[in-house]
Each structure stands twice: as C-alpha cells, then as structure tokens.
Amino acid sequence: MNGSEEIAVAGMSAGRSALRMGPAELVQAAAMARRFYLEGKSKIQIAEEFGVSRFKVARVLETALERDLVRIEIRVPAELDAERSDALRARYGLRHAVVVESPAEGEDESPDPENLGEVAADLLGELVTEGDVLGLAWGRSTIHMAAALDRLPPCTVVQLTGVYDAGTAERGSVEAVRRAAQVSGGEAHPIYAPMLLPDPATAAALRSQTGIARAFEYFDKVTVACVSIGSWEPGISTVHDMLSDEERAHYASLGVAAEMSAHLFDAEGRRVGRDLGERCITVEADRLRRIPEVVAIAGGQRKAAAIGAVLRSGLVTSLVTDRAAADYLLTESRPGTHPALDRTDPDGS
C-alpha cells in the first residue's frame, strides 16, 4: 500500500468485524473513495467505471462517511490488498475481485491456502441474500470456505458436482453442503456420486436416480455459485488425477490448461474435451453461465495460469485469490475481459 495516500477505509479485522462489512464492500468502498477523494473523479465517472448507478456510488461514499471508514489514508486490513483487488477487477472485467496476502514462504505450500476459504466465507456472507440458492462445486478451497462459514442468510444449498472419491463424501463436498445449510438454516441437496464415471451410460443412469435428479432440478435456480479451479497437473486438478495416463495424454494434446467443475479449458479460455462432460456428474457450462454470481476461489503460483484461462472463459464473475496469483494475472500479456458486469446486478443498480 502507498502510505502517502490520504483516505482510510477500515472495517474488517483478521477476525470478524462488528460492522460486518464483507470484503467486496470494503474493496469497492476503498476504490470508489480513492477515485472520488484523491483522483477527483465525479460520481458519474465512477458509476460508469464500476457499472453501477451514480446513486449507488453516492450511497457507498455516504456509508463510508457515516461509519467512519473514510479517514486520512486508504487502508484495508492487512489480509486484504485493495490495490491489487481493484486492478484485477478492472483488468478482467470482474464484478468482485478480492486479493489476500500469500502465506509466508514455507508456511503453506498448498495451491489454495486456507486463508482464501476464510475470506471467501466472508464474501459469501455478503453476497448471499435470503431466499437465494447457493451452489457449491467440489474443491479443496470450497471445503475450506464452508468450514469457515459463520453467517449466511436463510437459503437453499445444492451440490453442483459429484465428489472426487465417493468413499470420502462425508468429509468433502457433501459435508460442505451440509455445513453451509446448517449455518443458513436452509435445505441441503447433496450429491452422493463420483464426479467422473467410466462411461456416459453409467453417468446418465446415475443422473436419473432420485436424489441426484432432485439436486439437478435446482441447478437452474442457483443464484450464487462457488467453484474451484485446477491447473492440468497432478495434485492440482481433481479431474487430471482421476483419469488414466492415456486419457491425460489425450486431453493434454487438445491443449488443456485448466479445469473447473470437470470442464476443461485451453489457455485462451476455450472449452476443449467436451466429451468428458458426458461421463461426469456436474453442472453444465451453459447453466454456469446463466448463474448471476459465480465466485471462484483459487490461488498460488502453480494455479495462476489456469486461473487466467478460466477467467477468459467468461464463466466466472468474481474471484478470491492471493497476491502470488494476482501478480501473475496482472502482468500476463493476454488478460482478456468477460461480460461479468453485463449480468444482472444483484441489487438492481
């Protein structure tokens, strides 16, 4: 952060702030305050940049003043990087981008540090409203997020993919769905089935089973989804690890660079290997694209290129990541943007 800047935006500590402002609100308030108070931009100019009405800009600035968030310098809690968050949001056309600090070297070398899940839990508490349908896809980061949830409005929670290993369902995404439903007090619709099946016929038979079919019926009703991203290498992509060596080589020959919810993407964000979806228990890509808010949780240098590929696909509207991945994403030569801001704004602004 630049210590010479003249506005402070505070309100969320490493624990849970009494103000209960979510990370996206804090990042957006910081960015708008910087534009208005330091750069001298008008509310109309700010509204055009953020894709909201000037009345919403006025409300954000008023709230910042009323809650004593605007002071002498721009400052967010140490775990949030407001400048990188704002730059990432603008570069990729995202609705929300939240960048958190990366673990100190040697502390956590996993692709998705657990602190991403903690911040994502706060973000979901901010984005989900009463009556929403929350969809959770399989992934270590979504499991960490669900474990960190401590507030969620009443909503229905549905599982969007099968599990990595049916034998660990109770400790994985099924438990994540149950945990989120417990916190919200809403219904849970888990999927007790593997994500990847041996052939399309087996997958089709499972989709027709009562419990799984009931979960699939909710896919078109999902308003907020939470997904993970994997790069095409061992231990970083669930799908990669479930395939045979021959199958991995085949999809690698198609240029696979990233995987999300069993959908494969090349470096430009184009879907490849669509035949794999016929063998998978997962939400279809077209349905994902129709969900108003799709939040991806992914970080680390090993996933950075894969995150960029998925962002270029246009299926993700918001991202929770860390500085290591953000630095790559902000400097790569082919950012590309997607129409996240053209989707329906949840608050109608």
pLDDT digits (tens, 9 = 90+) for 22-69: 888 888 888 898 888 888 899 999 999 999 999 999 999 988 877 777
| pLDDT of res. 71 | 67
Q: Band the pLDDT of 110: cuts 50, 70, 90.
A: low
Asked whether 296 and 320 are in contact (CB, 8 A), the reply is yes
| pLDDT of res. 165 | 58
Sheet holding 230-231, edge to edge: 230-231, 258-260, 263-265, 271-272
| pLDDT of res. 37 | 83
Angle at which helices 323-331 and 82-92 cross, to 10°:
40
pTM, to two decimals: 0.75
Mean pLDDT, residues 312-325? 95
| pLDDT of res. 340 | 54
Asked whether 135 and 226 are in contact (CB, 8 A), the reply is yes
| pLDDT of res. 336 | 58
Q: Band the pLDDT of 104: cuts 50, 70, 90.
A: low
- Give CA–CA dist 179/343, Å, rounded: 29
Query: In 190-340, at which residue ranges do the beta strands (DSSP E only) sit?
Result: 224-228, 230-231, 258-260, 263-265, 271-272, 293-297, 318-322
Q: Band the pLDDT of 325: cuts 50, 70, 90.
A: very high
pLDDT digits (tens, 9 = 90+) for 75-100: 556 678 989 999 999 999 999 999 99
Share of residues in the chain with pLDDT > 70 (%): 81
CA atoms within 13 A on the CB side of 300: 22
| pLDDT of res. 4 | 41
pLDDT digits (tens, 9 = 90+) for 233-255: 877 777 888 888 898 888 889 99
Closest CA to 85 of 300, 334, 329, 267: 329
Closest CA to 223 of 92, 98, 130: 130
Q: pLDDT at residue 9 above 60?
A: no
Structure token pair of residue 302? 């090993």
Q: What is the DSSP string of 83-140?
A: HHHHHHHHHHT-SEEEEEPPPPTTT--SSS-HHHHHHHHHHHHHH--TT-EEEE-S-H
CA atoms within 13 A on the CB side of 289: 11
- DSSP character for 171? G
What's the length of the chain?
349
